[in-house]
Amino acid sequence: KNTYLSLFTVVKNIYSFLQAGQQIDLKSLKRKTQNLVDCILKEEKHFFSLLKNTDDEKNLFYHVINVTILSIMVGKRMGLRKYALGLLGISASMHDIGKLKIPREILNKSSELNETEINHYKLHPLEGVKVFLKLNKPNETSIISMLVSYEHHWDLDLSGFPENFEKNRY
């Protein structure tokens, strides 16, 4: 539980710093994510009870932490090594960072979005890439996080958003 809460706090702080236009340091996120990986490798079953069962996409941070935990669990089952699980966890926790650039009234709207709002919402993967491009110099973690942010709404057939111009080549 402490691992979950500490990762939640770090992710929330990173999103808040970025929202305020401040630079971030991913070292604390890396440490907390590695703690999560260690815990999942030892006692995965306990993390199912920590997943917040919510359909409320407005609570971005619960969604992000749930995606992070589930991504690490799937990666573990795929046989990824500890280092790769850490990268997977970090990029999963940053997958929706582009939502910081989407107006709150769209993200928090309780009724159905109109076409203009949907099109605006669909920009968040690209906005996530832009956030990472503004960080200091690119490194392995930021590059993987950009890819995850950009591609996280693609389906297996490469449909989804943002549009994949390569999908018709295959």
> Cα separations (Å) of 152 from 8, 24, 145, 163, 170?
20, 22, 10, 12, 19
As a whole number, mean pLDDT of residues 54-82 equals 85
Residue 165 has pLDDT above 80, yes or no: no
pLDDT of residue 144: 93
φ, ψ of residue 157 in degrees (nearest 5): -85, 10
CB atoms within 10 A of CB 34: 16
Count CA atoms within 13 Å of residue 109 on its CB side. Answer: 12
Q: Is 10 left (phi over 0), alpha (psi -120 to 50) or beta?
A: alpha
pTM of the model: 0.86
pLDDT of amino acid 53? 58
Is residue 87 scored above 60 in pLDDT?
A: yes
**pLDDT computed for residue 56 by the predictor:** 53
What's the pLDDT tens digit per position in 6-65?
Answer: 998 999 999 888 888 887 878 899 999 999 999 999 988 877 777 765 555 447 788 899
Percent of the chain with pLDDT over 70: 92
**pLDDT for res 58:** 47
Q: pLDDT tens digits for 150-161?
A: 999 998 888 888
The answer to whether the beta carbons of residues 36 and 3 sit under 8 Å apart is yes
Distance (Å, rounded) from C-alpha 114 to C-alpha 7? Answer: 34
- Bridge partners for 156 per DSSP: none
User: pLDDT at residue 168 above 60?
Assistant: no
Report the chain's mean pLDDT, rounded to a whole number. Answer: 87
